[in-house]
Amino acid sequence: MRTEGARVLVAGATGVLGRALAEGLHELGARVVAAGRNPERLGEVAAGLGTTGRHLDVVDAGSCAAAVHGAVEELGGLDLLVVATGAAGFGRAVELDEAVAEELFAVNTLGPIALVRAAAPYLAEARDGEGTAAVLSAVLADLPTAGMADYSAAKAALATWLQVLRREQRRSFRVLDVRPPHLDTGLDTRALAGEPPRLPAPMPHEQVVRAILEAIGGEATEVAMDGKELVVR
């Protein structure tokens, strides 16, 4: 898609990765609205983008819809939705607290789905027929990991939903599934529960941002790991 002048909502823009994506798209000439939960960071990001920050509680479907509708009202439509929300949680499959498991699915699966559902009618009417939903799942969707059963399952559920969505909406808008590896954003240090198992060296988030921006600017439907390489395809 053509990023110059594109109307964009970045959900999760108060996180490291989401903020970098929002700022990167802004630098490419897009009109970007940031949505996130932390009010102080949201204000900082929105000020740099020159738009109104939208509060977002990703576990609340009503809040997801309100963020989308607010962005559409400000921008006059929506060409690109970027979902960079997420939470980590660690623990053995039979030992994880049920409340933690529910929150992992709420944040990592149901919230992103609610955002895409709310945005879908607008993406289907995007400029030049180039509407795009770019959603971050994780490499865990491909490589479920011991000590991360529910976290892996939540990401796999989202990736599966996106795969079906792509088939169903192939004539309406593009679906880009981003499945990055462990990153240097510190997400593992802010887990809902537990301690992470031994993880590989983190990939610099800037590398993932460059790949996502490349994918958005083209026709790719995936950013994923191929062995030890991050590929756009």
Which pTM does this prediction carry? 0.97
Determine the pLDDT at residue 151.
97
Share of the chain above pLDDT 70, in %: 100
Q: Is residue 232 part of a domain?
A: no
Share of the chain above pLDDT 90, in %: 100
Domains of the chain: total: 1
Q: Is residue 146 part of a domain?
A: yes
Q: Is residue 229 part of a domain?
A: no
Cβ proximity of 106 and 192 under 8 Å: no
Dihedral (CA of 38, 43, 45, 50) sign: positive
Determine the pLDDT at residue 72.
98
**Structure confidence by residue, pLDDT tens digits, 160-175:** 999 999 999 999 999 9
Q: Is residue 231 part of a domain?
A: no
**Structure confidence by residue, pLDDT tens digits, 31-73:** 999 999 999 999 999 999 999 999 999 999 999 999 999 999 9
Measured CA distances, 98 to 17, 59, 63, 87, 173 (Å): 28, 16, 24, 15, 36
Q: Is residue 228 part of a domain?
A: no
Q: Is residue 50 part of a domain?
A: yes
Confidence of residue 132 (pLDDT cuts 50, 70, 90): very high
Report the distance separating Cα 29 and Cα 42, nearest Å: 20
Q: Is residue 2 part of a domain?
A: no
Determine the pLDDT at residue 163.
98
Mean pLDDT of the chain: 97
- The CATH number linked to 105 is 3.40.50.720
Q: Is residue 193 part of a domain?
A: yes
- Which residue segment(s) compose the domain that 78 sits in? 7-222
